[in-house]
A = this chain, B = another copy of it.
């Protein structure tokens, strides 16, 4: 069969990795795909740098605009990242009758509906395995491998930067700022780390996973997103004493009244496999009603890992490029005319368990007041840890783990606890998931 001809936009980490892996493993890939995948154009802002990156391989380098217009190109691989010019280029590529493979989670989470509509109208594939969890084929697992399941929930460590920071904070007992600086020095965190540490990147990814899992529209703007900047070393320590690890999880869960969609630091039982995912690694746990809980683990970023996902998409395109659109897997797993209308629940309506850290006067009656407030707000206590006050201190920490409840109950209880004269600081709230 004639080769699949691709044009790569950008020869940075992902684009360069894709170039490398296609060059290195071309024969092995062709033995599986049944045809060669041939890079016929590279679109670059800085052509000289792109030519240097390819070190002697003679592939035409052109502008980004020329690449998406090139009549030679069957598929555009977009590895620029960010909203623009990526979005305009993808839409132009589609308008020009080209299929698209992209790693751009931010773009899909924000503008996926527009992109998929345009692609549907033209009969083009838009594939995005690389957008979530790098080299782990989680999109394929969810869209195809678990297609028989009514998905109950997904919980994922889908941001390597924050998992590295939390792992280091725990294993070395260091504060957030110190570890962040180290992560930046190692190249695991960007100079501006906002998207990662504030949970936005994980929010983009879990929105995509939720759409695929539940057949709902992309809903990033309705997700509750919290990062890890407020996590203190003592909470990691207390959690560990009680048998838990703290991870930044992206969670999507089906409830009777709608879908929970949230990113936040989460206590998980230390015995769970996913609690032991350390460093920059990613893992996604999926609970389906038929398959049960399956877990997908691997490197969530990096040049060749992400390239692995990009090329898997390219091989899918290679197989189906001359097939009818009905032979393809729908963009977001469900057929577009059968998307569900379940609402995304506000965070107040979310049901989970809680870790509460209270700073209180160490005197009689304090615990009684607190337990009364909890009972009044329908909160039941699963575990309680009261620390001895430090030498000469008149205050102490009380740590409470609650059973599952609706979040608004917890917020009411916290307001009441903070109004007590014996409460000496704002209550620290973390969420807890058993993932069983």
Contact = CB atoms under 8 A, between A and B. Distances in A.
Interface of A: 1, 17, 21-22, 24-25, 28-34, 129, 134-137, 140-141, 143-150, 215, 273, 276-277, 288-299, 302, 304-305, 307-312, 315-316, 319-320, 322-324, 326-330, 333-335, 338
A204 B299 CA distance: 29
Contacts of A292: 135, 298-299, 302, 304-305
B323 A147 contact: no
A315 B1 contact: no
Nearest to A277: B273
Contacts of A140: 137, 140-141, 144-145
A149 B26 CA distance: 10
B294 A147 contact: no
A280 to B, nearest CB: 11
Given A144-B140, A311-B147, A290 B1 contact: no
Contacts of A277: 273
Nearest to A335: B34
A148 B21 contact: yes
Given A144-B312, A148-B21, A328 B334 contact: no
A268 to B, nearest CB: 14
A25 B149 CA distance: 7
Given A25-B149, A147-B33, A289-B304, A1 B326 contact: yes
Nearest to A292: B299
A76 B247 CA distance: 45
Contacts of A290: 17, 21, 25, 135, 304-305, 307-308, 311
A28 B290 CA distance: 12
Contacts of A322: 327
Contacts of A324: 323
A319 B144 CA distance: 11
Nearest to A21: B290
Contacts of A146: 137, 308, 312
Which A-B residue pairs are the 4 nearest by beta carbons?
Answer: A137-B145, A294-B298, A135-B291, A148-B311
A98 B215 CA distance: 31
A135 B289 CA distance: 11
B315 A291 contact: no
Nearest to A143: B32
A326 B327 CA distance: 12
Contact of A25 (B32, B150, B311): B150
Nearest to A327: B323
Given A135-B292, A276-B273, A323-B327, A150 B28 contact: yes
A148 B29 contact: yes
Contacts of A308: 146, 148-149, 288, 290-291
7 contacts: A1-B326, A25-B290, A31-B338, A273-B276, A290-B304, A291-B305, A319-B329
B34 A326 contact: yes
Contacts of A34: 326, 330, 335
Given A31-B338, A145-B312, A147-B311, 14 more contacts: A24-B289, A25-B290, A29-B148, A32-B330, A34-B330, A146-B308, A148-B308, A148-B311, A290-B311, A293-B298, A294-B296, A294-B298, A319-B329, A323-B324
A131 to B, nearest CB: 14
Contact of A291 (B30, B32, B298, B323): B298
B299 A32 contact: no
A309 to B, nearest CB: 8
Contacts of A32: 143, 147, 215, 330, 333-335
B135 A31 contact: no
Contacts of A316: 144
A34 B276 CA distance: 39
A335 B30 CA distance: 9
A298 B136 CA distance: 15
Nearest to A137: B145
